[in-house]
Amino acid sequence: MTPSPNSSGVTVEVRPARFRAELREFQRWHRLCGVPHARRAARNLLHAHDNKVLGTGLSRDYGPQARDDLAAVGGVSTVLAARTMALVALAEGRVVGGLAAGPSIHLVSQLAVLSQAAVVQAALTTIKIHALAVLPAYRGRGLGRALLTEAFTLAAQADARIVYGQFPTYAAGVAAFYRRCGMNLCAPGLPVDLRTWADLPAVVAPLPEETLFHRAVTR
């Protein structure tokens, strides 16, 4: 994404994380979202980066390749990493926010009991927002929206069908943010039916005191 001033006059750049130091910062972004096992999540991103597979499958050509010959693209674990994005937001010359998104390992694990085809379908059609956070001093300047917009751009390029995620039901400000960004919010406690959105025999159910959000990807 080319650096450009937003409505608050701040020059914002959103791009994939390029350096190990930027990927280490995802421990912070996960923690700011209240995501458990933040260190493990950042370590997984670093591992995918070091193996040169992180984000390499975010294209329309990748899906047919993975479906035709899963072994040739490295197997399920490689597909999950290749379909994962780690984006950073820069303002005033520094990284001030991040977004991590990709297939849900929990969802894939559930579908593994059905078939490998269901696993691949989930990896290629669904993108979960794992973490989206901006430093407190930079909130309210459009950085979170810029990160989410870029995530949808990449999701469309990857031919994904749905982007979804969750947040604590009590977080009214987070709910308002996702509404402003055009996300559909489920009633607290209600699931997202992936049969409708991604042709998958599964639903995504929230944990207690969580609310799900989702939006179809426009291609």
DSSP letters, 92-119, are TTEEEEEEEEE--HHHHHHHTTT-HHHH
pLDDT score, position 3: 58
Look at residue 8 and tell me whether its pLDDT is greater than 60.
Answer: no
Bridging pattern class, strands 162-168 and 94-102: unpaired
d(CA 199, CA 72): 24
Task: Please identify which residue in the block is written with the tokens 């927002």.
Answer: 129
Task: Locate the DSSP E strands across the chain.
Answer: 4-5, 11-16, 85-91, 94-102, 126-134, 162-168, 184-185, 192-193, 203-204, 210-216
Look at residue 24 and tell me whether its pLDDT is greater than 70.
Answer: yes
Contact 108, 118 (CB under 8 A): no
Mean pLDDT, range 38-48, rounded to an integer: 96
pLDDT tens per residue, range 63-112 = 999 999 999 999 999 999 999 999 999 999 899 999 999 999 999 999 99
Contact 12, 91 (CB under 8 A): yes
Mean pLDDT, range 11-27, rounded to an integer: 96
pTM for the complete prediction?
Answer: 0.93
pLDDT tens per residue, range 143-189 = 999 999 999 999 999 999 999 999 999 999 999 999 999 999 999 99
pLDDT score, position 11: 82
pLDDT score, position 50: 97
**Positive or negative CA dihedral for 54, 29, 38, 110?**
negative
Look at residue 4 and tell me whether its pLDDT is greater than 90.
Answer: no
Torsion of CA 10, 12, 18, 21, to 10 degrees: 30
